[in-house]
Amino acid sequence: MKESIQEALRDWKGTLKVWALMTLGTALVSLGVYCFKFPNHFSTGGVSGLGVVLGAVIPSFTPGNIVTIINILFLILGFTVLRGKFAVKTVYCSLLFSGLLELFERAWPLEAPLTDQPLLELFFAVLLPALGSGILFNIGASTGGTDIAALILKKYTAMDTGMALLCSDVLIAASTLLVFDAATGLFSILGLVLKSTLVDTVIESLNRKKSFTVITTKPDEVCDVITHTLKRGATVWKGKGAYTNDDHWVILTALSRAQAVYLRQRVKDIDAHAFFLITNSSEIFGKGFLRA
């Protein structure tokens, strides 16, 4: 009974964390789009890019209105192709994204860019949505729109997230050359390239763990630190030195960055002659890490 309660509590906390991350990621995207993309007419792709372009072509609609309309249409596509939990998460994020843009337009109307530095504005127009999108993609969510098309490409093809976004957004960004001036168009294309790179970088950074391989003559002491102090699992197998022919043990484990720093120091204290390899990895699947 007690274990059931603890498991339910962990599930509740995990669910709450996911919804908090979805809210945070969507808020970051909304701030970047409204405060920096819309006033500068930066169209770096996506539904917000369509909102910028179509908002100039159809003055009776604000960019926020257009984002809401297009998001609803793409949500229908998402429900049809990407079902299950993804649809629930994306409905929430998509509606929150559209709602925040509509709220900002009414409560905080912006008639001009916040600064007179277009490069600075472009930096934040790319950084904030990329950070927010990275958080959302990492938990299997999206703010909707062409992000749904990108996730469909990712699901059914071998393309990575950045490339999928680039393919779905490049035409939208290029259209600013026709609707606005050349400078705005070039800024938009540059922002698109930077965004596609940053999304993958953010996802990798959020998932980054350490693959730790130790070659030692004291496997029991090292494994004791891993299993009892760090509460992680490890795999041990016996090896032989190619030059010395001495017996050694190879220990493989996966850790967080902080745990890797701790284990590195403990291994040095336990076996001054130990040889170990620490490598970055953003895709570790199994208990305590990502789900396959």
Do the Cβ atoms of 33 and 64 come closer than 8 Å?
no
User: Where is the domain boundary, 156, 182, 206?
Assistant: 206
Question: What total of structural domains would you count in the chain?
Answer: 2
Q: Greater confidence, 150 or 180?
A: 180
Which amino acid type is present at position 280? N
Place of tokens 């792709």: 45
User: 103: Cβ–Cβ under 8 A, 6 or more apart, which residues?
Assistant: none
Tell whether 237 and 189 lie within a shared domain: no
* Lowest-pLDDT choice from 25-39, 60-74, 138-152, 235-249: 138-152
Residue 199, Cβ density class (10 Å: 0-12 exposed, 13-18 middle, ≥19 buried): buried
As a whole number of angstroms, the distance between CA 81 and CA 74 comes to 11
User: Where is the domain boundary, 206, 224, 259?
Assistant: 206
Tell whether 233 and 134 lie within a shared domain: no
CATH of residue 262's domain is 3.30.70.120
CA 15 to chain centre: 18
Tell whether 195 and 213 lie within a shared domain: no
Tell whether 66 and 97 lie within a shared domain: yes
pLDDT digits (tens, 9 = 90+) for 3-45: 566 565 567 777 888 899 999 999 999 999 999 999 999 988 8
Model pTM? 0.73
pLDDT digits (tens, 9 = 90+) for 114-144: 999 999 999 999 999 888 988 888 787 878 7
Mean predicted lDDT score pLDDT of the chain:
83
As a whole number of angstroms, the distance between CA 163 and CA 168 comes to 9
With cut-offs at 50, 70 and 90, classify the pLDDT of residue 292.
very low
Tell whether 157 and 271 lie within a shared domain: no
Structural domain containing residue 95: 2-206
Tell whether 108 and 227 lie within a shared domain: no
Tell whether 39 and 130 lie within a shared domain: yes
